[in-house]
Structures are given as C-alpha cells and as structure tokens.
Amino acid sequence: MASLPGCNNYCVCVALLLLCALVCRAASRTVSHVVEVESVEPHAESMEERHQRWMAQHGRSYTDDAEKQRRLAIFKSNVEYIESFNKVEGRQYKLGINEFADLTKEEFRARYLMGSKAMPRSPVPALDQREPFFYGNVTVEGLPSEKDWRKQGAVTGVKDQYGTCGSCWAFASVAAMEGAVKIKRGNLVSFSEQELVDCATSYGNGGCNGGFMNSAYIYIVQRGGLASERDYPYEGAQGTCKAWDVPRAERIVSFGYVRQNDEQALLEAVARQPVAVGFDAHDDGFAYYESGIYAGPCGTEWSHSLAIVGYGTTSDGTKYWLAKNSWGGSWGEGGFVRIKRDIDDVQGMCGLAMLPIYPIA
C-alpha cells in the first residue's frame, strides 16, 4: 500500500517524541527517588546511646540500674556544658567528653585535686647550705624562642594518679626530678610517686590528701634519693612506707625556687630544665580540657600541681606554657596542656608563677 506523502518523516518524528517523553518520565521518577533518599536525615544519637558508647570506650560499669540512671543524668549535664562551651566563638581552647564526664564537680575535686591549699610563703633554705639559687639573671632575649623537653628525651611518659588520691604534688615533683636527672646525668628514669605518697608525710605532706613539692624534695634529699617506679609502683592509695626495702634509683642534691610572681624568671628556668608549679584547677573547664591554649577563668588557690616542661608561641602570636599533667594520656593533648603565658596578672595563669620549684641534680 502506498504511504501518504510525508508520512515517513512525520511518523518517525512522532515516535521519537513519544520515546523522549517516556525516557524523561522514567528519569524524573529516578531523580525524584534519589532526592527522596538523600533527604532522609541520619539517626540522631540519643543521650542514652551516647552514654552507652562512652561507657564502652572508658570501660565504665555501674552497680545497678539506679546508679546507671544517676550517672546518665550527670553525664547529660556535663555533655551539655561541654557542647555549650564549645559553641561560643573566639574560645582559645576546646573541651572534650573525657573519662570524667560522669562525675559531679564535687566528686572530681575530691578524687583528683588537693583541696584549697595556701601557697607556702617562706621558702626553705637550700639543703646543702649554699646560697639559694634563683633563676632570673639572664635576659629573655638570650633564651630560645621555644622549648619542649620532650624532644630532648627529658620527659617520661604521661602517668595517671588514678584512684581517690590527691597525689598530683608527688607527680609534679617527680616529673621535674626526672628531667633534672636526665639533663645532668643523661639517664631518664621513671621515679616513684608512691614512695612520696607513702613516706613523705612526716615532712608536711598529706599523702593522698595533698602536699607540697618543696617538702617532697626535702624528703628525697634527706633520704638519699628516690626509688624507681619499677621498684616502687604507684597504687592510687596511701600505704605503708617501703622505702627501706627498695634501692635508691637516683638522687638530687638540693632544690631551688624561681623568683615569685615573675614569668620572665620562670621562662629562664624552664629553658634550662622542667619546673614544678602549683595551679588552681577549680575551673570546670580544666577538667574537660581537650586542646588549645587554656586561659581560665581561674583564681590562685593551689588545688593542683603540674610540671612545666616547655613553652612556645602559636602561629597567631599567643604565648603558652607546656605542662605535663597526671590524669592519663586520654586527657588534654595526650596528657599535656598548653597554658596561656605572659598574662596581665603577675601571679601567672591560675597562680602558676606564685612559687615555681625546681630540683638540683
């Protein structure tokens, strides 16, 4: 049968148009389906799920469901505080949900701080009867712009004052001594904090109830040295003194004080060795510190002790101290904290410049 004039071209065009319409409709359905799938919001983790995950991460368990619910409520309150803090623009440091997140403020302070102690105001004379040696005679211009004693092998691994034991004073004393001995004699020895907790109580220290670094050094000098951590390991509680049953790993001959309320003098001291300092750690933010330059708020009540093991300046010009803490490696920047340096207050951030002490190896 003869086709109508122009039918071939016309039919082909119509067929192509119908085919295009079908393809576009199918594609439209596919795109619509894809868009619909992508628009589904991910599951928002509940606070209960976050707490459960946190428990698994930190190996936490509770005696019963009532205790778990109580800890969940505390955890929720602390997490909300941490997240609210981190949302504020311009903060110099960040907080993190760490192993302390299910403790109340009072529980944390009882376990990890010393309570409010007054800074000793009358330095004890040097034990070898030399003239007391104070840093502060070298101009800052002659010092290195930054220092990190970790890079020179003068800092042992981060330790943990676990248990309900306010033994930070022992850890700070030991950390500074470890650095001094390494710098002087070339041996990096991990010394025993437990010996100080158990044995230095007659020197004015309170074991797990707090103490002073100068009293710790008096004990070490008069005892003829300090045991190693290997021979006298940490137990997280005060026990019977065993110092006479273990050998002395190393000794110091004396100790000195950095000039009080003088961060320039402290800079000179830290350029030459790690230094032990008192610190006001009552601020809730310090417990959850994760990274950055800690800048308070804080007072000057000596509730904690740290070892200053370096200093430096950030890319934006913020000066800081590098301090070794004793709350384990999961706290802060791998167990360390950077603290703002050269502030307007002569006592230093949180009172760290009020009475810095260094051992003499």
Task: Give catalytic status of residue 168 as yes or no.
Answer: yes
Closest alpha carbon to 348 in 265, 253, 231, 284: 265
- DSSP letters along 272-340, please? HS-EEEEE---SHHHHTEEEEEE-------B-EEEEEEEEEE-TTS-EEEEEE-SB-TTSTBTTEEEEE
For residue 353 the two structure tokens come to 């410049």
Task: Give catalytic status of residue 304 as yes or no.
Answer: yes
Query: 357-360 and 254-257: which strand pairing?
Result: antiparallel
For residue 223 the two structure tokens come to 């005892």
Task: Give 226's DSSP letter.
Answer: B
Q: Which of 78, 98, 205, 325 is catalytic?
A: 325
Task: Give catalytic status of residue 43 as yes or no.
Answer: no
Task: Give 75's DSSP letter.
Answer: H
> What is the rounded CA–CA span in Å between residue 180 and residue 160?
21
Q: Which of 51, 98, 165, 168 is catalytic?
A: 168
Task: Give 126's DSSP letter.
Answer: P
For residue 246 the two structure tokens come to 């273990």
Handedness of CA 300, 212, 356, 311 (dihedral sign): negative
Is residue 171 within 8 Å of 159, Cβ to Cβ?
A: yes
Catalytic annotation, residues: 168, 304, 325
